[in-house]
Amino acid sequence: MTSRLNPYLSFRGNARQAMEFYQSVFGGTLRLNTFGEFNPEAGPIADQIMHGQLETASGYTIMGSDTPPEMAHNPGDHITVSLSGDDAAELRGYWEKLSASGKVSVPLEKQMWGDEFGACVDQFGIPWMVNIGTQA
């Protein structure tokens, strides 16, 4: 049996848009289930996402959902999603899409440790780090 670790992101009423955005960034297969699918009495949140899961060809799994109004929601308070590897073209492509409509805190550029690194917060308030390793 195997196990895996993947981010589960929370949103407030815009999980569908966020998960569709991540699919446009990373590609892959996206499955979305609404609160209404599982609870016919879900009321105003019936069309919001109870569970979303994106599986990508690169082996990434990103999950996410809308936080019901009665629950606290603080996106990005305790998580930063980190992408790293040596496929510079792939990682630069992700960076460009994630940062384009967000806010860059560290531009993607060569750092003192030799790798290219950048940090941003995307348009949905999720922090991302991208590290492109140097090839020896």
pLDDT digits (tens, 9 = 90+) for 23-32: 999 999 999 9
The closest of 73, 70, 86, 90 to 18, measured between CA atoms, is: 73
CA angle 15, 18, 24 (to 5 degrees): 140
pTM for this model (two decimals): 0.85
Residues spanned by CATH 3.10.180.10 within the chain? 8-66
User: How would residue 15 be classed by pLDDT, with cut points 50, 70 and 90?
Assistant: very high
Tens digits of residue pLDDT in 35-47: 999 888 889 999 9
Query: Is a pLDDT exceeding 80 seen at residue 54?
Result: yes
What is residue 69's predicted lDDT score, i.e. its pLDDT? 86
User: Is residue 66 within 8 Å of residue 13, measured between CB atoms?
Assistant: yes
Residues spanned by CATH 3.30.720.110 within the chain? 81-132
Q: What share of the chain is helix, strand, coil (3-state, %, to 5)?
A: 25, 35, 40
User: How would residue 79 be classed by pLDDT, with cut points 50, 70 and 90?
Assistant: confident
Mean pLDDT along residues 115-128: 95
Q: Which fold has domain 81-132?
A: 3.30.720
Query: Is a pLDDT exceeding 80 seen at residue 78?
Result: no
**CATH class given for the domain over 8-66:** alpha beta
